[in-house]
Chains A and B, each alone.
Chain A
Amino acid sequence: MSEHVHVAGVGSTTFGAHPERTLQSLAAEAARAALADSKVAASKIGCVFIGNFVGGIMTGQELLGPIVAADLGLSGVAAIKIEAACASSSAAVRIAHDLIRSGAEEAALIIGVERLTGAPREALTSAMTAAIDQGTEGLSGLTFPGFWGLVMSRHAHLYGTTREQIAAVTVKNRKFGAKNPLAQLRKAISLEDVIGSALIADPIRKFDCCPGTDGAAAIVLTNAALARRFGSPSVRIAASILTNGPARISDYRDITTHDGTVEAARRAYEMAGIGPHGIDVAELHDCFSIAEIVDSEDLGFFAKGEGGSAVLNRSSARYARVVINASGGLLSKGHPTGATGCGQIYEIAMQLRGRHPNQVPRARWGLTHNGGGTAAAVTVHILESLST
């Protein structure tokens, strides 16, 4: 375990509604863009990992690894699908990272892909709840908006987090997303729009929820020698962590603190040799507006209970300098579940290259946080620009 792993190339489709596209065509578009961006010869790719959550349920398509690899003209490679609900593709990045770091592979292609639009709302809700234990809590009819509704009620009870503070997350992320050409929802909205939108799972309202999304994103990872040889962009993975958290809400020690995120962050900061206050830009798993507040606390950007006030008072010196979800996050850019983890790494890589539509000046350190299920599968990646 000695190799530095480089993000040699990134690619993405637009996130949104692509009813005419197959999973295969979305995945291939993002993959070709990432391979071209990396300049790495396709013959150097030793494995193709596809992050996908509900392709089988929503489209009837499985075995995406070999099918997409064949579409890309790649043969003799390890090509499989990896599933960790909404953290599928970032989990795949972690596995590829370790293969390269160990010297087992020189280069890997990781693709996240999903198709979620076009289905009736109840069908989409049912598909998503496949990530809730259907032998226990799933029997109650708990949904993911319901899970986060329980978290939001408790967070407000313990810390006084207000409806306005939580709505401000959506307003902030929609403002960022309006400038991101990849984003699904590009219209800015107001606090009143969020607070006046329909209840979905009290106190979660419509505009507290990310949309269902079609899209794909892809990453080429290489060892340092290949990155140098092909002149790939200078971004390295300083930490890649995948861990689990409670898989049932009744198992949580405290539902306002997600232990999987806390543990993944602790190990990632240790691996990278940097703390939360050194991070310049971060993409967090804001599947719901309250989620960004909880995540920002669990990652150490703000003290527990202060994530809400930090959204409305970011100019205060007491808060970390990190810019959160400059892509628009899941709330605006969209949430093609299996593709979201790679999409987050795409956004951070572009920030660290200085080429993002909402560029954070002099960004050197970036972080991604991606959660699957009830934060039951969690990844944290820390990336460093080698050119700043």
Chain B
Amino acid sequence: MTDTQTISGKVYSHTVIRVPGKAHAAAAPFVLLLVELDNGRRVLGYFSGPEPPPIDAVVVGKVDTSTPVFSLLQGQL
């Protein structure tokens, strides 16, 4: 059993990894977000969609592995 924690914040910056290292070759392309959490800390995570959301968009993330997966807060773009 793994505990899943929910976090939220705003997109601080974004990129799309199209040329990955060997360990992530099967996953590419994938979106990486740097998210500024509500508590002020920043965290690097994946985005659930194929294109990154705009900077300052509000996202929510689930943390059940080392890298959280974010999606847009419902009702946003």
Interface of A toward B, CB cutoff 8 Å? 121-123, 125-126, 129, 136-137, 139-143, 145-146, 149-151, 153-154, 157, 198-204, 249-250, 252, 255
Which chain A positions have C-beta within 8 A of B20?
A: 122, 125, 141, 143
Cross-chain contact A151 with B24 (CB below 8 angstroms): no
Given contacts A140-B67, A249-B44, contact A150 B21 (CB under 8 A): no
A83, chain B: closest CB distance, angstroms: 19
A349 vs B42: C-alpha distance when bound (angstroms): 41
**Residues of B31-64 whose CB lies within 8 A of A:** 32, 34, 41-46, 52, 55
- Given contacts A249-B34, A250-B43, A250-B44, are A141 and B13 in contact (CB under 8 A)? no
Q: Which one, A146, A153, A249, contacts B17 given CB within 8 A?
A: A146
Set of chain A residues within 8 Å of B30, measured between Cβ atoms: 141
How far does the Cβ of A238 sit from chain B's closest Cβ, in whole Å? Answer: 36
Cα–Cα distance between A56 and B50 once the two chains are bound (Å): 36
Contact between A202 and B16 (Cβ–Cβ < 8 Å)?
yes
Chain A residues within 8 Å of B25, by CB: 122
> Which residues does chain B contribute within 8 Å of A255, judged by CB atoms?
12-13, 34
B13-31 contacts to A (CB < 8 Å): 13-25, 27-28, 30
Asked if residues B22 and A123 are in contact (CB atoms below 8 Å), the reply is yes
Residue from A121, A137, A139, A153 with most neighbouring chain B CB atoms (10 Å): A153
Q: Which residue of A lies closest to B43 (CB)?
A: A250
**Please, which residue of chain A has its CB at the minimum distance from the CB of B51?**
A202
B34 touches A157 (CB 8 A): no
Decide: A201 and B21 in contact? CB cutoff 8 A. Answer: no
Are the CB atoms of B32 and A142 closer together than 8 Å?
yes
Which B residues touch A199, using CB under 8 A? Answer: 16, 18
Chain A residues with CB under 8 Å of B44's CB are 137, 140, 142, 249-250
Say whether, besides A139-B67, A140-B67, A146 and B27 are in contact (CB < 8 Å).
no
Sample of 16 more A-B contacts, CB < 8 Å, known A140-B32, A143-B20, A252-B42 = A125-B20, A137-B44, A139-B67, A141-B17, A141-B20, A141-B21, A143-B19, A143-B21, A150-B32, A153-B13, A198-B18, A200-B19, A201-B16, A202-B18, A255-B12, A255-B13
Query: Complex Cα distance A129/B17, Å?
Result: 13
Query: With A122-B22, A153-B55, A154-B55 given, is the CB distance from A141 to B27 under 8 Å?
Result: yes
A255 to B55, CA, bound (A): 14
Query: Is B66 in contact with chain A by the CB < 8 A criterion?
Result: yes
A157 to B15, CA, bound (A): 13
Of the candidates A151, A157, A203, the one having the most CB atoms from chain B within 10 angstroms of its own CB is A157
Residue of chain A at shortest CB distance from B30: A141
Specify which chain A residues have a CB less than 8 angstroms from the CB of B67 in the assembled complex: 139-140
Listed A/B pairs (18) with beta-carbon separation below 8 Å: A121-B19, A125-B21, A136-B66, A139-B66, A140-B46, A140-B66, A142-B17, A143-B21, A145-B19, A150-B13, A154-B13, A200-B18, A201-B16, A202-B18, A203-B15, A250-B44, A255-B13, A255-B34
